[in-house]
Structure 1
Amino acid sequence: MTVYKHPPPPQKYLMEHVNCTSKEESIWKCPIVEADETACTNDFVAVECSGTVKLSLNLNEQYNKCAGVVEFSTPDGIIGVCNDKWDKIKANKICQELGCGDHFYIPKPGIFKEQQSKQNVLLNCVGNEKFSWQCMERSDCKERASVICTNHERFRLQNGSHLCSGLVEKYSVTKSSEVLQQTNVMPEDICSQLNCGSDGNFTNHNGTNILTCSDTVKLRNFTKKCFGAVSIDVNGTNYRVCYSDLTLSLRMGVVVCQELGCGKVLHVQQNQFLTDRKINVECQGDEKSLWHCLVKNETKQCMGTKVICSDSLDVHLSDGLGRCSGRVEVQWEGSWWPIGSGWTTENSDVVCQHLNCGTSANTTTKHFIPVNQQQLKSSKNCKSSSAKLHECFVETSTEPPFKPSSQKEQDTNIICKKEELLSFEGDLPCQGRVRIESFDGETRWLLMGENNTKASNICHVMQCGSLKSFVPAQNMTHANVTCSGSVSVKLSEGCWGTVEVCRKEKPNCEAICNYTWSTNEDSNMICGNLGCGKPIPGQLTHQINNPSVPVSYYSVYCSKNVKNMSMCNFIPKKNFICNIPAQVICTDSIKVRLEDPRDKCAGKVSLLYAGQWIPVCQDNNNEALKTAICRQLNCGDSLQGNDHLRLTLYDESQIPGLSGIKCQDQVNSVSKCDLRNVSLKNKCTFMYLKCTDWERLLLYKKEGECSGPVYGFRNGKTQLVREQKWGLKEGQKLCEYLQCGNYTSHSTRDIHDNTTEWWNKTYNCSGTENMLECESRDQPVQGQRQLSIQCDRKPPAITLSNNCTGKVLINKEHVSASQWLDKMSDNLCNNLGCGNAIQHWSVKTDTKKCWHFSCTGLETSVWQCGSKKDNCENILSVACKNSVKFSSTEKCGGKLGIKYKGQWEYVCGKLTDTDAGKVCNVLQCKDNQELLNEQEIVKEIKVNIKCPESHQNIFQCVNLLKNPECSLGYADIKCEGYSPKVGISSVRLVLGLLGGMLGLLILFLMIRNRKRLLLALSHYRNKNGKDMNTDMNEMDKMDAENRGIQYHFIIITLNIVNIETQANAFLNC
């Protein structure tokens, strides 16, 4: 219901016959009759109250200030207005009703002091109310509404000793102007409005009124530079400021940073939980002091406020060439942090300009080392390269501009264009004209006009000691600088090893960190400087444990004009750890060798790589590489084909080795091959190589394993070795070379055959380690007397584990099956008195030590071959012909079986009558012959029997098939006393047929008997006794036939029984 004061006639009516008792809280509670909205014949009701309702704004108990808590004053007390549903429309109505303009700002509830209200009401206006009190509805709300109108003017104090003293200024929120008040204003009004106490006094200072209020208030400075908790000192008591929402807190941060001279606000966040002595502050952001904001002592618990201002933010570049290069580190909340990924070019430009270093330069060179420190990650970037540092990180959200990264990323590094790279001209370090290059591409020279301090600084920067002289160059414009020190750079092992920087003023050389070393530019330069060829890219991890020199430099900078690494800049290591030195392998450090105790220019291929001899893997087995190795060793070219590989002493066992070497044709050194993809395999089969010039000294005559005439073997031919200049040393070395113990004596014999080929070498073994090093090329070859040697070794016996067959044993030690020749098996079997060999084979075993032999095929004894003990995975077994045993699948005949290596096999092909007779003699089948079980015979046929014209026994006729498949079928044999078996399948077929015939006969008899029975029945069924034309003689005839069939049936049955008895006897056999 609307109540009208001085009302015009209404147009609509809601109720009539209102009958109130004065006890109702509202007219809506009174009994009424609903009225027609458009018809009211009686006069309407108008009410005039005796009391007054006055609207006001209470500004800390001051009124008529156009700001404060909204209140209604009534005769019964204060009525407060609820903050519920309080909005700009209602605030505008209040300000307009009071003549204070429109609303300017709605503070949060509780920011102004409030009087105790009798009750609170909501303002629920329809829109046509003239006065706001007409909108009142009773409510039980807790928070009161307040407003600041556009006509509000407030006082401020400036330039005083604290925030509650100084010149009085009046501030208009609409004009944002400040007017000095020289009129007499009541001090208590100003102080009360400013929360500076209830009293104050003016003093005149140079004609200006200075107001000092009763309270002393100061904004406390941060405990650290321009960031920290916000607190205010009121009369010596510290009050922490509560955190509000983001918008209000940012406004407060703007005021705080400005008041404390800390620049712009970067971030505001909640701080510690506050329980006592706290205040609430609400700022617009344009105040000159935090105390100029709306301030109120807070009674509720709250979170404190932490403000980070722009002047707490700083940046520098660390561990660089100078102050204009290095790792980007940001000072955030008092600590220096490296920056992770997400950094932009604009950010780098801003950093360089902040440091007065120009803009950032484009560089891909890895000059910087990551530090083991947690990084900051930036959520904001600079929008422009010309922005100020703090402008890139102004707060716009709840997220801070920087926060610690949860995982390590690549550090951000910058080289600014004004960074200077110093270098001396020429090839002598620490002296000469000084070239100054900027990273913007400009180059200048140090001029004589520049002072000695800069020249001295150059000696210090270049780590060249102190300034020795500063004189003009020949053109009289540039300066020649000579420092007291000197620098040299080397590799610790000559053409490979740790990169070492050696200085005159330091007793020991120092290493460079591996992380920043460029395997392209830096390694190329040092290999070239040392005359060591080219660096090997993609090299192995060849870290040296406990390097002899400490890592003292983390980076090296070389001018593009510098060709000598000693002229480069080496940056000392500072606040980081790097224990891995830079290491380089140059191509000229690569050496190759062929390892074999007996052969020259042949053997296992090994590469001297990073100071270690490492085997080369077989997968590098390409002809170009082989040729390069042979040529590098002056051994001719690689020997073509694979037959020569059977002469190696080594098993194909798996060992660590180098892989990935690639060579082009006509390369004469491994160092000139492509080694970019070289890697170390944990396991591989090593490469064995023989060159065209490979050779060997050997004994092969039957005089003995360690005595006899000496021959040289080359190109598949033997040549006689001369006795020329042969003495005790040469004899001892030869016996050692032949693995024959110590030298006993030597002798000679004259050779007068002009067709004999002679070994074209002489020997001098003074001061040498082995026979291959004794070759002497400074003496002419002469004489026709062949050397014969006598050594003292008696080689151990070689046996087979099962008489003339089985594993080959030397003192119970196995022999490797790799590279074993057929002739070696023949020699072994003959020496054991077991005839020739049938076959040798290998058996896989766990890796163990075995004997290895390398023979040329000329030797008459295994011990005349080269031998050594080494690991092997395949052990050797040999079967000699005297180990052969024969048997057959039937007594005195059938398929012929043979056993020579522990298991029975079939023999291939048809035997001649003569050969079959000899086998029968061996079988002795008339005795108790043990027949073969065909289920246990090996199906693969490997041997045949073919006797030569001259032989002693059938065992010498056993031969291993050249073709692995037998196309002639099994060998059959029929000796005297052989009775061929009837096939079981044939017997069963006969029995089946006889059984079938017997069944048919029984069926026939059954049919005949049935016919006889039918005739008898037909005769007896004739009731009239008439003759039915039945032939009575027919039955007699049938009886006669039956007796004949029965007779034949008995005969056939007896024959079948006899056949079956014999068949069963055969099957049982």
Structure 2
Amino acid sequence: MIFTTTEKLHFVYYLLLGLLSLPLLTECSKIRLVGPSRCSGRVEVYHEDGWGSVCDDHWSITNAEVVCRELNCGTVLESKTSAFFGEGDGRIWLDDVKCTGTEQSILKCPHRSMGDNDCGHGEDAGVICSDYVRVVNGSNRCSGRVEVQDNGHWKKLCGDDRSGNNADVVCREINCGPSVAQDKVPYFGEGPKLENVKSNCFGNESSFSQCTRQETTDICPAATVVCKHSRPIRLMNGTGRCSGRMEIYHDGQWGTICDDRWGMQEATVVCQELSCGSALSIKYNAHFGRGQGQVWLDDVDCTGHEKSLSDCPHRGFGEHDCDHNEDASVICSVVSPLRLVNGTDRCSGRVEVRHDNQWGTVCDDEWDIKDAEVVCRSMDCGTAQSSKNSAFFGQGQGDIWLDDVTCFGNETSLIHCRHPTLGENNCGHGEDAGVVCSGIILLITLLLTLFTLVSRQCLK
């Protein structure tokens, strides 16, 4: 049997993933939470034969998200500062931690050298994670497919007629406000095929753990939620909904954001959160007019990878030294975002486009390597290795947003290529288009490097 280059790469990819999951390697992860439960407490790191804490400088919800995922503790609820769970003792191992949110361990996030800090234990960082429920595969941490923990494993929650009550409890538990009813059920992937859980909430439970639930092997649709974010944002006084003065809702009222330290990383988070494409420019000095009421945020310091502006480090709500002459603004590209689904990594898979708050697919009519090249470049995935037709990465669901896409290959976004009106097509999901980008080669190189480094460390 002769294997293609891509198939060989896929084999190596899966082999490395298997090797990286060996107990020998996972024992190198030395993270724990010291607090009231396994999934909430002061963050501590094991280094040089001793446990030590983490300083809360630059501590954010994104850092906490990495900790929760690393400890298999579901969805992050809150990041805590100022020794919320009490002061630790011994060394302070980490300071100025700045995760992007995609890391598999907090030790992989950028930070000062181990033990290098300017903190005291009164600044020990903590997290609160959800032991029982998590929301995955959504556009932000407050939307997605619901999974529940059962006997130490995460399993798909079945959607049914009682999903409204279940959604209210889930949204409340993950600190995302009430659930938002959807005219059309969004699709966030199917999740595990054989391990499902049915649940029945009345809607007034304080935790999903209080709802009745039972394991089932029945085939059922995945439960999904879209929650009203605890702190929604908006752009005001611009030329459209994707440009204007930055405002955030807090404590029952809208307020502005000071332009101190305001930059493209913050604008990138805003544009993505509002489904407005990429950030084109940032504006200072009340470019779109002076706001009114509170100045809610100052010294916002995003990495650019946060899912919500309120997840970025900042002084604290209402803490500032600004007036409305310094109101911050952004201008976004209004380009529908892209994602690749069901591939072997983030740089291969079925091409999906977000439009009208729904993810949908692209038909493979006229689909070729030039179209794939635009997708790979816009997703920072290198060059296109191949374009895929006939639902090579599986059939999607929902709308088919694009058909007869014709790119020259130099466009910055797939939406900039020639195509009929969004949603106009003569296709079925058996014709869903896909791509394989060269990013997979870079990924395997990184995995090989990681495997070598971790193996050496574990065998010391």
Q: Aligning the two structures, in what range does the TM-score lie when normalised by the shorter sequence?
A: 0.3 to 0.5
TM-score normalised by L of structure 1: 0.18
Structure possessing the higher relative contact order (Cα contacts under 8 Å, 6 or more residues apart): 2
Q: Greater Rg, structure 1 or structure 2?
A: 1
TM-score normalised by L of structure 2: 0.37
Structure number having the greater strand percentage = 1
